[in-house]
Structure 1
Amino acid sequence: MSHVLLPVFLLLRRVDTVEVIGQALAAKAAGRGVRTIAARLGRPVETVRGWLRRFAGRAGQVRRVFTVLLVDAGVDPDVPAAGKDVFADAVAAVVGAWWSVRERWPGLGEVSPWLVACAASNGILLAPSWPTEMINTSRL
């Protein structure tokens, strides 16, 4: 058995950086199609489709986890209103959590929403499954 430490800009089992994948997720949430996204990012359509499908499959979990992070980290959190679908809501929750983290810890500097998402998910944002602790949204 071997252990590998991932840098904060990589997701587990993904070659592309979380920034590139995050751009694809944000573009999908904004209503762009997979072929347009793939062309814009210079990535194969099947690769981008895989990212979008994996995220869509757990968008509800992502929304819950990052909404809890948004509220817990936020000084005076502003929870995003419901969007057009759960995919867009999950992306909005990631961005909202990023905003709360930036407000709480301004010394972090210029950190993107997707780097925060990668760090907060321990690099498993698009992994096949999440551990139970990751999706436990109960509060003390």
Structure 2
Amino acid sequence: MLTEETDTAAVEERLRSGRLACPGCAGVLAGWGRARARTVRGPDGGVRVVPRRSRCTGCRATHVLLPVLLLVRRAATGAVIGAALAAETAGVGHRRIAERLDRPPGTVRDWLRRFGARVEAVRVVFTRWCRALAPDPESPGPAGSGWADAVAAVSAAAKAFMARFSVEVPVCQVVSAVSAGRLLSPGWPARTGQG
């Protein structure tokens, strides 16, 4: 799974010109059809997506090119999930969040539990990205809880990204790109033994 920009024409051009590399062997990715069409819940209603598939010309592995709007195996966009995480940071309970976002309470509870189980790892990953992207990073200080610290680190990394590349993008797209769409997936971030 690779995360890609939201401009499908740009992704197609990068595939045609051989400018996408395989994450496994660094070979050139080529187009290989499409993944299953689906509709995911966005902030303003349903969003229909048909992710592009690619195949490495070297190792022959296939990869889905997931738009940075999405997280892996989630029926809501990163913006909707991010709104739930931010509301939890503000002390709102999962039932009220679910009501606000028009999502099932069990789904929202699952998002919150998965994120809550890895807040320290998320804080570490996004703090590292903040430091890598900014020449003089403004590291987030303690925000009052592990959860709030992780959300602050995510926000700081997104700001550093936007400043570094002089672009304005939603924070959820930076989160998807950094996590390769796996923010709430088992095994992310991988434990590397680095402190």
Task: Compute the TM-score of the two structures, normalised by the length of structure 2.
Answer: 0.65
Question: What is the Cα deviation at residue 117 of structure 1?
Answer: 0.5
Matched ranges for 1:60-75 at <5 A: 60-75=120-135
Q: Does 1:24 align with 2:84?
A: yes
SS of match in other structure, 1:5: strand
Question: What is the root-mean-square deviation in Å for CA atoms of aligned residues?
Answer: 1.9
Structure 1 residue 111 corresponds to structure 2 residue 169: yes
User: What do the CA deviations read for 1:11-57 (whole angstroms, capped 9, x no partner)?
Assistant: 11111000000010011112111111111111111100000000001
8 Å Cα contact 1:64/1:137 also seen in 2: no
Task: After the TM superposition, list the runs of 4 or more consecutive aligned residues in structure 1 that deviate by more than 6 angstroms.
Answer: none
Which residue of structure 1 lines up, in the alignment, with residue 106 of structure 2?
A: 46
Question: Which runs of structure 2 are paired with 1:1-140 in the superposition (5 Å)?
Answer: 3-106=63-166, 108=167, 110-130=168-188, 132=190, 136=192
Q: What runs of 5+ residues in structure 1 fail to find an aligned partner?
A: none
Are the counterparts in 1 of residues 72 and 181 from structure 2 also a CA contact under 8 Å?
A: yes
Distance 1:3 1:74 in 2: 30
- C-alpha separation in 1, matches of 2:193 and 2:164: 20
Distance in 1 (CA, whole Å) between partners of 2:193 and 2:156 is 16
Separation (CA, whole Å) in 2 of partners of 1:64 and 1:76: 18
Structure number with bigger Rg: 2
More strand by share: 2
Q: Deviations over 1:32-83 (max 9, x none)?
A: 1111111111111110000000000111110000000011101321111112
Aligned identity (percent) is 48
Q: How far apart in 1 are the matches of 2:120 and 2:104?
A: 26
Count of residue correspondences: 135
3-state DSSP class of the match of 1:77? coil
Q: Secondary structure at the match of 2:66?
A: coil
Q: 1:64 to 1:51 in 2, by over 3 A?
A: same
Q: Distance in 2 between matches of 1:42 and 1:131?
A: 29
With the length of structure 1 as denominator, give the TM-score of the two structures: 0.88
Q: Which has the higher helix share?
A: 1
